[in-house]
Amino acid sequence: MKMLGRQLLGVLLAAVMLFETVGMAMAAAPTTMADKLAEIERTAYGTPQTGALLDRVNKLEKDFEGEHSPNESVMQRVDNLYAAMFKNETGPSLVTRMNAIEWGITQKVSMDSIQKRVSDMEIAMTGAPSEGTYRSRIGTLAGYAFGTQEIPLELTQVPTNTLVKASLVTPVNAKNLKVGDRIEIKSEEDVIENGRLLFAKGAPGYGEVTKVKRASNFGRDAEVQIDFKALRTMDGTDASMVLGEEAKEKMQSMAFAAGASIAGIALLGPIGIIGGAFVKGKNVDLPAGTELYIQTAEPITIYGLAAAESAPAVEKTGEKQ
């Protein structure tokens, strides 16, 4: 019962915070060569690299493709790397394929670098990291996950108001936050519709703090406003997210199922009204792991992965069937 109470408290507290639903601005895609290169390196290695620009581009090409493109300008080479890593214009990007393979093997998608994700999966499957370019290593992992290097991805529409169960990665504490702070979240469950995986468990997302009011000794309520911005879909595209009516109703039904009183449910209030009385005179303090529901703000077309509702994780090489 104590555990149930803590879970219910987390849901209610998450809901009575004011989550603005009008801000749907996405993270701006990098436009300069330096920003694009930094984003590629962050995704590939975990952090942007240092050193001469040409050396950094050469390293990326060698690690991922095994060869350079000496007849093209450095700017064009960076654009090519960025498109191969993130864009799904001519087919699934490297991030899309990486997400699909990782889900096929582990039944979740991590927020780690490609370098770490590939090594971790190789260790899980064969006991040690492999050698070679990331392209060849990813192809081998695709074979483990799907029996072929052809990954079963297909263009799919994610409808408006698709619900996603998420949780806080960044703790929300009114004492420590300021306007503009980024709040990291992640998906807690797979979202599969019509046999296509749209959001994978572990998919990252974020919101932004738009208002902070700390509790005072005179009984003033602590208040935190967060505008949820986006959640990463299966193919690496950021979907606009909001805390809308469907999400609120889902949290209300969860609270009812847990035995909350009518008075407790009333504290949830309509979207856009602060339930400050629920934490009157006390600090708003939501730990990492606090669960809530959000929903897509608009339809989006992505590469969805063919998936059963409860597909088993791939067995390691050498394990008995």
Please report whether residue 132 resides in a domain: no
Please report whether residue 292 resides in a domain: yes
**Rounded-to-integer distance, Cα 214 and Cα 172, Å:** 12
- Domain tally for the chain? 1
Q: What is the pLDDT of residue 93?
A: 92
Q: Of 175, 231, 173, give the one whose Cα is nearest residue 200.
A: 231
Q: What is the pLDDT of residue 104?
A: 93
Q: What is the pLDDT of residue 283?
A: 66
Please report whether residue 14 resides in a domain: yes
For the chain, give me the number of helices (H) and strands (E)?
9, 13
Least confident stretch, 4-8, 50-54, 191-195? 4-8
pLDDT tens sequence across 103-145: 999 998 888 999 999 999 999 999 999 999 999 999 999 999 9
Please report whether residue 95 resides in a domain: no
Query: What predicted TM-score, i.e. pTM, was given to this entire model?
Result: 0.74
**Rounded-to-integer distance, Cα 316 and Cα 99, Å:** 18
Please report whether residue 108 resides in a domain: no
Integer CA distances (angstroms), 170 to 17, 110, 158, 289, in order: 15, 16, 26, 9
pLDDT tens sequence across 205-241: 998 888 888 877 666 677 778 888 899 999 989 999 9
Q: What is the pLDDT of residue 219?
A: 64
* More confident position, 269 or 42: 42
Q: What is the pLDDT of residue 281?
A: 35
- Would you state the structure tokens that stand for residue 69, as one six-digit string? 């493109």
Please report whether residue 176 resides in a domain: yes
Please report whether residue 109 resides in a domain: no
> With 60 as the cut, is the pLDDT of residue 306 above it?
yes
Q: Give all strands (DSSP E) within the chain, no chain letters.
A: 18-19, 153-158, 163-168, 172-173, 182-187, 191-193, 196-199, 204-213, 223-232, 238-242, 285-286, 291-296, 300-306
* More confident position, 172 or 140: 140
Domain range for 210: 2-27+156-306
CATH of the domain at 300: 2.40.128.260
pLDDT tens sequence across 5-14: 444 444 444 4
Please report whether residue 184 resides in a domain: yes
Q: What is the pLDDT of residue 29?
A: 75
> With 50 as the cut, is the pLDDT of residue 269 above it?
no
Mean pLDDT within 302-321: 60
The segment with the largest mean pLDDT, out of 109-118, 169-178, 255-264, 300-309, is 109-118
> With 50 as the cut, is the pLDDT of residue 272 above it?
no
> How many percent of the chain have pLDDT more than 90?
52
Q: What is the pLDDT of residue 287?
A: 84
